Structure 1
């Protein structure tokens, strides 16, 4: 399998590359803080899945309630492509920074309302309907976030540090899962499980609304990317970004959708599904299950920027290829460790997967954005990235839980992850190496001899 970096293409910083400016550092901090806030609001839902199932659906069938809450969870992903397209087009026309300010407000408002909703016991079926509406709004905002955050970061990063910078930004999107987990554990410890289930579970949602205001203030201090400003000054912005993205860059859209399957299924296994799997299927106690999940997510937070740095040095494809194979091999042992029902088994399993997510993500996250030129990057990634996550990420908890219920085997979700990784190996082999590319050009327009290093 040819996954080597391009021998004739250097990823080292050129001698003339200037140092990192204060504005660039401020932008990276702003992107990371904004990512933390956005994805805390979006992912805290998964950390609260068991208590949400008990409060928003009839208690007569606990299995149906858990499946229903995951169905609502997945519904949020259906709106991600919509938000990605709408905000992507606006991002390519008006700028990335402006869109990010709007998405964080929308996400924060929907999360705040989640914490104020009446339960099924109070208003019946209207409760899950309102929860679904809030989740759809969150999905729209998440789609808009993905379409503009990545372009803003890589268009502002030094060329030799794009992988590491994207790694830092996406590490901040994993951190909320750990933060939410520790926060929920703290609430349980301070107020007790009974009080938590009775209403304290609302506090994490309410906090999301407060964090959104803080994130907005920070984002308003960030400037637009130089790459976008130059295009705007030259009058070179795309007049019809949707048409251009879906015709001229159709191949990039397809490849991003397929590559994102590995990140969507593996990442959401660790920071969204595994906690509920451990509690409902393996019957672990809530505290050790939440603790193991939170610690493993911190592993991704630590490793992802390091793997991004490796992608800057050795290329995107080697990291993606190694990560895909690693996850395919690690999936079954990881779920076997979970079935021990012990804290150490669960922690080892999730850390095992966290390493693979970091390796693949180190090359994958930055490559996805580099496949598109600046003129349609927000639109192209807004459509393809969010469509891939809607198909694979949004359905992952539901499919995994359904596999467990239908087969009776707690190992069945592992084979789903294995299948996704095996299919992705073929895709990774065909993706051009994007390290060092000119961001204003499509990666698929690069002559073949360049990508092969001849």
Structure 2
């Protein structure tokens, strides 16, 4: 304020001061990332518990939802229903991926876990074939398709959220931890089913207690939903979205501009799907139905071998951050191809230790290949279309190779009358993958906002 000559005091307007938004401290960023990692892992566990408990109970579901006159045909029937869930995954991946690229990854993750929990809970309420006849497998198929639709959306949202918020030098380790959490439900559901059987007796379990794991899955989904709603959106998505860089037509841009990435992801998935679902879904039924093992040792050997993946996958993810993605995938594919036949030979001994040793060989191969493979899937796409790109390619790959794996393996056993025949299917996809890996770019340390094929030399 000052006084003008001969006049009253004059006030100069004071410019408003813009509020200062404090930058988050390094400790705050680390805490936020830890919450993201823990929350994503817990959510993955819940989502895949709901999806995989179906496989754990495949033998029992065959007797409940299909005619009992032909057990082999009934088992093929339930594996066909199991595979149908994978056919819905590409549709879910495209649907939810589009929204993941437009409204954010976190919001989609909340929707998918709620849908998965509801469909899993309803499976526990279904009437059996004895009650309603052919309507029973139809209803089971319908809810399995809903599960698959949800699982497709999970793949399109979870991975992008994690990889876009992790430090560049630990992306392989972080994504491996989250995928390890997706293997854990196979072991937990196995132990849970075994515990219920021991507590109530096989007769009571077969009569109605078998429904409890599905009810528990529905309740767990509510816990997962609460955790996911507290997560923050991915850092890369926020930056690219704020700059107007997210695709307005992600499906069109994916198919026209990133076709190579779509094809490569589908081919990488072939090894991950066939090997993972050997342990995840098929092996327990194989040991119980084909080899003739008692259910308890078959369940224990399968569950312990899955735990080996839970431990081994993050360790191999660390190695992929140090040595690169391609060396890990090469090593894993060769290991699986060489050990597939010995693994099945060990499993056909009919002993707990033979079955565990055979499945452990597959688990080691999964860990090595997955340490480099899982992170590569997401690094091949840029942030602008990552949800849609992975939602399409990841789920098409799993529909082709993962959903059909138990059915094809059982069909091979039935048609060749050789318990070793599924090993040759695994060997075939591993050998083909060696040519795929050779053509891949090395994605370690790349910038996520650009396609791997734009700036990395093969």
TM-score interval, smaller chain: over 0.9
Aligned: 1:201 with 2:210 = yes
SS, match of residue 314 in structure 2 = helix
**Residue of structure 2 aligned with 1:369, choices 356, 378, 382:** 378
Offset of residue 231 of structure 1: 1.3
- 1:224 matched to which residue of 2? 233
Deviations 1:346-399 (A, max 9, x none): 000011110000000000000110000000000000000000000000000000
Whole-angstrom CA distance in 1 between matches of 2:456 and 2:190: 47
**Residue of structure 2 aligned with 1:162, choices 171, 196, 199:** 171
- 1:145 matched to which residue of 2? 154
Whole-angstrom CA distance in 2 between matches of 1:88 and 1:218: 21
- 1:312 matched to which residue of 2? 321
Deviations 1:31-50 (A, max 9, x none): 00000000000000000001
Aligned: 1:285 with 2:294 = yes
Offset of residue 233 of structure 1: 1.1
Greater C-alpha radius of gyration: 2
Going from structure 1 to structure 2, the CA distance change for 1:33 and 1:447 (only over 3 Å counts) comes to closer
Count of aligned positions:
433
**Residue of structure 2 aligned with 1:29, choices 38, 61, 66:** 38
- Spell out the pairing of 1:306-345 with structure 2 (5 A cutoff): 306-345=315-354
**Residue of structure 2 aligned with 1:75, choices 66, 77, 84:** 84
**Residue of structure 2 aligned with 1:390, choices 399, 404, 420:** 399
Q: Is the 2:441–2:456 Cα contact (8 Å) retained in structure 1? A: no
- 1:432 matched to which residue of 2? 441
Q: Is the 2:442–2:456 Cα contact (8 Å) retained in structure 1? A: no
Offset of residue 234 of structure 1: 1.1
Offset of residue 447 of structure 1: 4.8
SS, match of residue 239 in structure 1 = coil
Structure 1 stretches of 4+ with a deviation exceeding 4 A read none
**Residue of structure 2 aligned with 1:416, choices 425, 431, 442:** 425
- 2:121 matched to which residue of 1? 112
SS, match of residue 107 in structure 2 = helix
Listed as ranges, the gaps of 5+ residues in structure 2 are 1-25
Offset of residue 247 of structure 1: 1.0
Of structures 1 and 2, the one scoring higher in RCO (CA 8 A, sep 6+) is 1
Q: Is the 2:443–2:456 Cα contact (8 Å) retained in structure 1? A: no
- 2:309 matched to which residue of 1? 300
SS, match of residue 21 in structure 1 = helix
- 2:23 matched to which residue of 1? none
Cα RMSD of the aligned pairs, angstroms, is 1.0
- 2:6 matched to which residue of 1? none
SS, match of residue 245 in structure 2 = coil
TM-score, L = length of structure 2: 0.94
**Residue of structure 2 aligned with 1:441, choices 426, 431, 450:** 450
Q: Is the 2:59–2:285 Cα contact (8 Å) retained in structure 1? A: yes
Whole-angstrom CA distance in 2 between matches of 1:345 and 1:177: 20
